[in-house]
Structure 1
Amino acid sequence: MNPLLFRVEDRPPVLTSLLLAAQHLLAALGGIIAVPLVIGGALRLPADQVVALVNAALLGSGIVTIIQCKGVGPVGIRLPCVMGTSFAFVGAAISVGMEHGVPGILGSSLVGSLVMISGSFFMPQIRKLFPHAVTGVVVAMIGLSLVPVAIDWAAGGAHSANYGDPVNLGIAFLVLVSVIGLVQWGKGIISASAIVIGMFVGYLVCLLMGKVDFTQVQHAVVFALPQPLHFGLSFPPSGIVAMSIAYMVTMVETTGTFMALGSATKTEVDGKRLSSGILCDGVGSAFASLVSSPPVSTFAQNVGVVSLTGVASRHVVAFTGVMLLLAGLFPVLGALVVTVPQPVLGGAGLMMFAMIISAGIQMLGKVEHTKRNGLIIAVAIGCGLAVTARPELLSKLPAFVKEVFGSGITVGALVAVLLNLLLPGRPVESEHEHELQARELEEIASEAA
């Protein structure tokens, strides 16, 4: 694990913070914009309505990111979290939207968010279900589930006509090598900015090769005011049930992401802190519905940015929230960032997501080597990878089953938790274990300082 250049409470100079925040923006913006584009395309919405969804998603993601990082009373985990519209809700959103339109999606999301808000009050109990063996599996599965995404980016984008073109792979490789070199041999801000510098190198090469498409920039409006309740709200019972299930799945994934973030930032994530983070996810999604955005959740890919750069400052990522907010108000800015070619994202993404896997392996390395723990780790990762590598495995099963078990992260987490509860010889959870874990993290943080 890299030593921390900036710890959670550190406040780098403003210009430095903006540069470091830009890395998180580049890692997240594509995913945030993709969700409303996919939903709008599936529902065949007019172009102006798709634009309204995109602007709302950027605005909502920015505001909730700031709250998650800075905290407002009991809301917000106060760690470097980037919030954004989540693909975990896409399946439910499209199924609801086909019958009830965008108002049905937003109304169902608003009511369904109560599941996450209610669940946040039970996180101290849920935290006890995540001993070292389970947590390590979840963190490793987050990285393993994201690596195929980076591979698709590096190859030119999933379903692209030139998928796997040697030029795409070469650009991705150039970015990857640049990032590795800057992290390994760069000093201070150069090392911390490795991702954004490496992506700039790749972007410059693509620009010289004529592989950057500025069409979206030309068509983007310069300024757009937010439009709360632009689509209206409706509350179909079937839609509320579908969204509630999606929120339960997201709560499991978000818990794992927070645990991974705790490892990356060398911070003890106890039940109380988990409660604040999950509460922000729930309240943030309710707020997103009111500003006409799909639900939001914590982005796992940004944990890789923290792991790779050693920049754990929550104040830096709060600047990312400000940038997302501005992108929602000035769509032309978001359109400019989206011009970054997929292979450039792939080279950086592969490094970021692999760092999450590395963090999970390091956590699993500290687990006691017993037959029981070996079974939990092996079966949970195997089942999680089965869904990740072959999603068509669930194609013949009911929609409800696909909704719950469609994510390798969720499958890995649920299998690990269940095996930990069911296999005989389960260690008794104690406050002493959590105190030891907290002390270990404090020692690591003090050494890094």
Structure 2
Amino acid sequence: MEVFKMNTAGTSNHTDRRDEDRRLIYQLDGRPRLRTALPLGMQHVLAMFTSNLAPILIIAGACNLSAAQTVIMVQCAMFVSGLTTFIQLYPIKLGKNKQIGANLPIVMGTSFAFVPTASTIAATGGIGAVLGGSLLGSLTEVIMGFFYKYIRRFFPPLVVGSTLVTIGVNLLGVGVDYFAGGAGAADYGSIRNLAIGFMVLAIIVLLQRFGKGLVKNSAILIGLVVGYVVCAFLGMVDTSTITEAGWVSLPLPLQFKLVFTPSAVLSFAALYIVSGLETIGNTSGITIAGFDREATERETSGAILADALGSTTAAFFNALPNTAFGQNAGIVSMTKVVNKWCIATGAFVLMICGFLPKLGAVFSAIPSAVLGGAVISVFGMILINGIKMIAKAGFSERNVLVLGITFALGLGLGSHPEAVAQLPGVLRFIFSDSVAATCIVAILANLIFPMKDKEDIERAKKAMTDAD
């Protein structure tokens, strides 16, 4: 009888703890058991792992970095993403009203938005100019974080949407090059490369269309793994870097000499506006989905400041700027799991991965066609998101005029810098990069042609709310 009572009590305690875990995962604070928290945290890691590293691999290729240097960048990207996620979860206090970090379940990762501009800068200034521009350009987000309440009106949906469209157009060109085997490759456009690219893309599309739960969220990672294995059997994977890489090493800062050029700094500064607005949207998306409320001013400014600090840290640690990841905000929306401790377990795994160069070498050895098949759909979605934002703002006579000027000068002239080579230095700089040019021209066009129609103003407000 006594044994029965003990067993009953043990079962009851186990059931109570399991129920407590189930309750805690839907609350911001509290610590569910590791056995409960870790799988939920790993779900976020798997959903963002590929997207976190793909920009690094693309820019490393554009800079013609060695395999060992690419491994260093990959290591640092994982480490910084985990660190910045921790700051979002557990903010650094700045007095009574300000903080660095949102105190929300936000997952940070390397931003694709900077890839086109970084590729352009890399062609002339190398990795040093990319990291230097990223470092100083991040001051833009510091300003946004402290004063975003007052300056947000300068960035209506038409500005953000047209900039996203231009980023998507430029990224698709990058994605196609990788899809075909990598720009300058001897077998560029070969049937083998195209077949592998299409295979990886088909796997991702099918899993995202018909998969559920973790399988759907990890579709890109699964597509990469399948493509990687197929390429290994075909002898397309160079394993020498993996063999030579050590098992454990520290992700050290300043492995590349930073170069500060005005054009790179200003180009990055313009893009940090887009990154900051993306973080604003994902922050409000999480609070609406997880807590049924809008994000507070403190949460939003803290999220932007963490974005800025993470990007500054990334530049010191040989990696590209960070931003809040939309796919992880989507997971929160789908699962309603908002517990910070669960997300923190995933962030810890990311940081640990930063100390494993062997893992970084595995990713750096991904064949270009496999990477292209994985990321080209992501690039297409960036373009579509821009179009959706523009559509929500509406196509009034005024908006069409602003869009026409923006794309004609920003995307048109910005894509052909040789056409403006005879212009004065300031104008020549503005049109040296199509993404930065689109953002700058869109801001100016919106100021020159302000919204006067009440319907336009209401649609713009609704579009910004929907974006949040």
Q: TM-score range by the shorter chain?
A: 0.7 to 0.9
Distance 1:409 1:170 in 2: 31
In angstroms, what is the RMSD of aligned CA positions?
A: 4.7
SS at match of 1:329: coil
Distance 1:27 1:352 in 2: 9
Distance 1:277 1:406 in 2: 30
Q: How many residues align?
A: 422
Contact 2:72 2:360 in 1 (8 A): no
Q: Which residue does the alignment assign to 1:81?
A: 108
Q: 2:53 aligns with which of 16, 26, 29?
A: 29
- How far has the Cα of 1:95 moved from its partner? 8.2
- How far has the Cα of 1:336 moved from its partner? 0.9
SS at match of 2:189: coil
Contact 2:393 2:460 in 1 (8 A): no
C-alpha change, 1:395 and 1:224, in structure 2 (3 Å) is: farther
Contact 1:117 1:278 in 2 (8 A): yes
Distance 1:308 1:150 in 2: 25
Q: Which residue does the alignment assign to 1:64?
A: 84
- How far has the Cα of 1:232 moved from its partner? 9.7
Matched to 2:168, the amino acid is G
Contact 2:389 2:467 in 1 (8 A): no
Task: Trace 1:130-149 onto structure 2 (pairs within 5 A).
Answer: 130-149=155-174
SS at match of 1:161: coil
- How far has the Cα of 1:317 moved from its partner? 7.3
Task: Trace 1:89-238 onto structure 2 (pairs within 5 A).
Answer: 114=139, 116-227=141-252
- How far has the Cα of 1:253 moved from its partner? 3.3
Task: Give TM-score scaled by structure 2 length.
Answer: 0.71
- How far has the Cα of 1:157 moved from its partner? 1.3
Q: Which residue does the alignment assign to 2:269?
A: 248
**1:284 maps onto 2:310 in alignment:** yes
Q: 2:360 aligns with which of 319, 327, 334?
A: 334
Distance 1:359 1:432 in 2: 20
Matched to 2:274, the amino acid is E
Matched to 2:435, the amino acid is I
Distance 1:147 1:127 in 2: 29
C-alpha change, 1:115 and 1:13, in structure 2 (3 Å) is: closer
- How far has the Cα of 1:154 moved from its partner? 0.5
**1:412 maps onto 2:438 in alignment:** yes
- How far has the Cα of 1:200 moved from its partner? 2.2
C-alpha change, 1:187 and 1:38, in structure 2 (3 Å) is: closer
C-alpha change, 1:136 and 1:36, in structure 2 (3 Å) is: closer
Distance 2:310 2:318 in 1: 11
Shifted more, 278-287 versus 29-38: the winner is 29-38
Q: Which residue does the alignment assign to 2:375?
A: 349
Which consecutive residues of structure 1, in runs of 5 or more, have no partner in the other structure?
A: 1-5, 443-449
Larger Rg, first or second structure (1 or 2)? 2
Task: Give TM-score scaled by structure 1 length.
Answer: 0.73
Shifted more, 176-185 versus 421-430: the winner is 421-430
Distance 1:294 1:173 in 2: 32
Q: Which residue does the alignment assign to 1:258?
A: 279
Contact 2:254 2:317 in 1 (8 A): no
- How far has the Cα of 1:355 moved from its partner? 1.7
Task: Trace 1:43-54 onto structure 2 (pairs within 5 A).
Answer: none
C-alpha change, 1:219 and 1:392, in structure 2 (3 Å) is: farther
